[in-house]
Amino acid sequence: MHYETIFQEIYHELQSIENIGRVADYIPELADVNPDQFGVHLTTVEGDEFSFADAEKRFSIQSIAKVFTFVLAYSRVKSSIWDRTGLEPAGTPFNSLVQLEYDQGTPRNPFINAGAIVICDILASELASPKENILSFIRSLTGVNTINYNPMVALSEKKTGFRNHALVNLMKSFGNIRNDIDMVMDIYFHICSIEMSCRELSKAFLFLANNGVVPYSGERILSASRTKRTNALMQTCGFYDEAGEFSFKVGLPGKSGVGGGIVAVHPEKYTIAVWSPRLNKKGNSYKGMLFLEEFTTKTRLSIF
């Protein structure tokens, strides 16, 4: 299939649609990003790669990183992870305090902010050097050793993360945070600051399309069963409170971030990453969502 031609066709079709989205300006460092950049990269499980536009440009992956930390925790504490977080769609905004109070400090799933903070708390207990170990894990998935945190973004997140601090303190009051709050939040703010390109993200998620095995290295990251469950969790919880619409229109498991990135997985076939910084009202890339909807429609390559 001529993926690059399809990318060009969809991109030019979307040029006629006004991009009504806005960058995530509530995080000061993200407010300065050029909002008109766009990139896409697809990697097949056989190793074929297809790029378009700004696919090599690194950006702040934000909540996409929650998949990496979840996988690291899930591979270590296994099923006991569900004693600390649920696995249901939240049905509320990704930083809701109301839901957390109602559920007595247990987040609905590991991809909302509270859930990802609990995962960081688990990794603080499980890993010798959490920030370094997380980075090493991502680098091993891609084979790229220059992937790193952006300290300015991490600091920006910390300075404006009042609601996230409220979430962690509320969970601490219910006994669902075991480590020092400042240490846990330092991990959380740093994972959100990781910068990767569409090409690197597509490659990093490839093990989720290959039954838990990194195709180019043969390393098993998750069992086939846990890979299935991770993909299911992305399908139902990967897009804040827009997961149902993404399933309906795109038909793939995936994860988004407020940096404008989206990664989607077609098990046993490919992974695709798209980046467009302007966000819709739900916090997902406005044109990224439209692009992936058109892509799976034109190629007829979704899981449904």
Average pLDDT, the chain: 95
- Residue 240 has a pLDDT of 83
Tell me how many domains the chain contains: 1
DSSP H helical segments within the chain, as ranges? 3-14, 28-31, 65-77, 97-102, 113-126, 130-142, 151-160, 162-173, 181-192, 198-204, 224-237, 243-249, 286-299
CB atoms within 10 A of CB 145: 10
Whether the predicted pLDDT of 265 surpasses 80: yes
In a domain, 302, yes or no: no
Q: What is the mean pLDDT of residues 120-146?
A: 97
Q: 223-244 pLDDT, tens per residue?
A: 999 999 999 999 999 998 899 9
DSSP secondary structure letters along 37-67: --EEEEEETTS-EEEEESTT--EE-GGGHHH
- Residue 108 has a pLDDT of 95
- DSSP secondary structure code for residue 22 in this structure: B
The encoded tokens of residue 18 equal 């006004």
Which residues lie below 8 Å from residue 265, measured CB to CB, with a gap of 6+? Answer: 205, 208, 209, 231, 234, 252, 253, 254, 271
Check which CATH number belongs to the domain holding 111 and give it. 3.40.710.10
| Cα–Cα distance, 275 to 222 (Å, whole number) | 27
Q: 268-297 pLDDT, tens per residue?
A: 999 999 999 999 999 999 999 999 999 999
Whether the predicted pLDDT of 93 surpasses 80: no
| Cα–Cα distance, 189 to 164 (Å, whole number) | 10
Q: Let me know: does 81 contact 151? Beta carbons within 8 Å.
A: no
In a domain, 160, yes or no: yes
Q: Let me know: does 108 contact 176? Beta carbons within 8 Å.
A: no
Q: What is the mean pLDDT of residues 116-137?
A: 98
Q: What is the mean pLDDT of residues 260-266?
A: 98
Whether the predicted pLDDT of 299 surpasses 90: yes
Residue-number span of the structural domain to which 127 is assigned = 3-297
CB atoms within 10 A of CB 182: 10
Q: Let me know: does 240 contact 49? Beta carbons within 8 Å.
A: no
In a domain, 144, yes or no: yes
Model-wide pTM > 0.85: yes
In a domain, 176, yes or no: yes
Model confidence band, residue 78 (pLDDT cutoffs 50, 70, 90):
confident
